[in-house]
Chain A
Amino acid sequence: MAQAGPNNQASNLSFERVRGVNNIIITYNVAHAVINLEADSSRFERILAALRSLANSDIPIFLLKLHSSALTLAMDGVDADRAQKALEASGFKIDLRADLAVVAVQADSMRDLSGVMVQIADALFAAGARLFETGDSHNSVQALIEGIKVESAVQSLLKTFALEASAVCSSQAAAQ
């Protein structure tokens, strides 16, 4: 904090955060589930049943997305087996893939920046990283990719956004 007095020079503080992409956060050991919703029953009743099944098993979820005939979501990889058992016990057919990672590209006021999505998609495509799902919020775009592609994806993103390696941080747990 500046403590400038009457005789001081300009405070020379950098007051505002840099606009644009400034960080990449990696979360390893993420699983992604595609929960098929039967067409002959109420779609939202089935969605509620799936969410109830996961909640009753104390499994935190994120990247929740609605599709016409499926519900997709992500979870910590350590919860994948329990989730599969719980959902199958409730009568759901699920396709579950573990060993994924979330690469989150962070920027202040992300939704005011146009073109970030294409830059991310191009960078991941160049790295050969298939996108399983994306999520976005006001300060990040999250890309769910294979864990083994993280290194090349991150290098490609660093180059795209002209970031230093120090802009990358990672965690092992997927819980939000």
Chain B
Amino acid sequence: MNILVQKFGGTSVDRAEHRDLAARKVIKAFEAGYAPVVVVSAIGRSGAPYATDTLVKVLRDIDAQTAPAPREMDLMMACGEIISTAVFAQTLQTYGFKAIALSGGQAGIVTDSEHGNARILEIRPQYIHMLLEQGFIPVVCGFQGVTQPENASEHGAITTLGRGGSDTTASALGAALGAVAVEIYTDVDGVKTADPDIVKTARTLDVCTYEEVAEIAHQGAKVVHPRAAEIAMDRNIPLWVKSTFSDHPGTRITSEATAGIKRRLTGITHTGKIVYIRLEIENAEHKPIVEREVYRMMARANVNIFLVTFSPSALSFAVPRTLFPIARDLLDGMVVPVEYGEKDPSGKLAAYYIFKFSDGLDLAYSVQRPLLRAVESRVEVVDVPASVTENCTMVSVIASHFLGVPGIALRIFETLVKAGIAIHQTADSGMSVSCLVPESEADRAVLLLHRTLFED
């Protein structure tokens, strides 16, 4: 039996005509001799009546001051896919096919108990296999599973898989069922060299490696979630990204050896609303100690920092814009004491480093700093000026085995600098070079880099 997992996202099932197009993809596969297993997301995106965000709002609106419990939140969020599954199964039935709707738990998806971000532990595929043998088309809820009951009196709790959950469901089901392929249907023809809303000339890639698509997804392109790509990569299952709305063959995602890709530029992406913070720390000896306290404080508040850059007298790093107020409040007026061990020539025992943002953002500093005057005869008090670059985003060039090629950084810099686009910082990995640029320039940067690297 050639099992084919077909996953349809929210825009593929949001209205009757779209569901009909999706259903035709399933029927076409069935009639071609495949045994389709369908995975669906919730109907529509934010604002739609049965979209996940809408359902979450119902719980949150009960009392804005009381956060819903994670278990109940998962139960509520799972409803979106349950509704979508029932609707899609009914759609297939109206075409005369034996379709059956299954929740994640009914499909045998067992997860850990981390509500809201659960991990699939195992899949018990027997029931789906039995349904397929009987000629059914199973329609499975994406994004959800069920915990293993802790004792005989329990029945397990519904969990959700977090970001990329439906893609992850499809990939994991493909692995458990021994599928010949997993098809991810969306509203674009496949993996593109850039966001087609920005770059009209963006090409659809015929084939991509798992590594390329994971990198592209991490850097902002919404094609396949990296978790799904990683499962497919680890199990060597061919993935396809296709459009529900066209007959374009789509993009095949496979291993490097199968894809036959040695070296190429893959695409341009952009992601993130980012704030870049720079702290001036002049004393080279004390700098590592002060830096570690900054990291520690950010970690305690669950503020993820990235693009960390050292220079002899400064530490710079980026934070997501949503977390910037927390980062700023933590740093403003923060004091890091560094003990000398013995008195210095001026008789001081320690240095106190106190962080100061620019006027208007230094409320805590302006309160704390006068308090330190009392100890200034014994302690050196050092201001750490903090500056902020707001409204940034990361534009990334994704490549496969290309970044070791001399000159790639030059081409990226030349393109942006000649266009007058400020580059605040850069980051590189084995598969990407990223530039932190003003958010207002993101589209132009993507467009120009695509023109330089893909069209010239």
Residues of chain A having any CB pair with chain B under 8 Å: 1-17, 19, 44-45, 47-48, 51-52, 54-55, 57-68, 70, 72, 108-109, 111-115, 117-119, 121-122, 125, 130-140, 175-176
Contact = CB atoms under 8 A, between A and B. Distances in A.
Given A16-B168, A44-B417, A68-B311, A55 B406 contact: yes
B444 interface: no
B407 interface: yes
List 9 A-B pairs, minimum CB-CB distance, nearest first.
Answer: A137-B429, A115-B299, A55-B407, A118-B295, A138-B218, A51-B410, A175-B404, A15-B120, A67-B311
Contacts of B237: 1
Given A122-B292, A135-B428, 20 more contacts: A1-B175, A1-B178, A5-B129, A7-B126, A15-B119, A15-B121, A55-B410, A58-B406, A60-B404, A60-B405, A66-B423, A67-B314, A68-B314, A112-B304, A117-B298, A118-B299, A133-B310, A134-B308, A137-B432, A138-B226
B122 A136 contact: no
21 contacts: A1-B236, A4-B125, A8-B125, A15-B119, A17-B234, A51-B407, A55-B407, A55-B410, A57-B406, A64-B426, A72-B311, A109-B218, A114-B298, A114-B299, A117-B298, A119-B299, A122-B292, A135-B428, A136-B306, A137-B432, A176-B430
Contact of A19 (B119, B236, B311, B407): B119
Interface in B147-198: 168, 172, 175-178
**Most chain-A CB neighbours within 10 Å: which of B298, B409, B423?**
B409
Contacts of A70: 311
B409 A140 contact: no
Given A14-B121, A136-B308, A64 B218 contact: no
Contacts of B219: 138
Contact of A16 (B120, B125, B432): B120
A114 B424 CA distance: 23
Nearest to A25: B430
B24 interface: no
A34 B354 CA distance: 29
A121 B235 contact: no
Which of B130, B291, B407, B428 has the most C-beta atoms of chain A within 10 angstroms of its own C-beta? B428
Interface string B284-317: 0000100110011011011111111111001000
A109 B226 contact: yes
B20 interface: no
Q: How large is the interface on B (under 10, 10 to 19, 20 to 34, 35 or more residues)?
A: 35 or more
Contacts of A108: 226, 230
A9 B129 CA distance: 12
A105 B121 CA distance: 25
A43 to B, nearest CB: 10
A47 B296 CA distance: 33
B231 A176 contact: no
Nearest to A132: B310
B404 A3 contact: no
Nearest to A133: B310
B25 interface: no
Contacts of A113: 304
A3 B178 contact: yes
Contacts of B425: 65-66
A164 to B, nearest CB: 19
Nearest to A43: B417
Given A7-B126, A58-B406, A114-B299, A17 B230 contact: yes
A65 B119 contact: no
B386 to A, nearest CB: 15
B157 to A, nearest CB: 18
Nearest to A8: B126
B136 interface: no
Contact of A6 (B130, B172, B311): B130
Nearest to A108: B230
A155 to B, nearest CB: 19
A3 B413 CA distance: 50
Contacts of A62: 403-404, 428
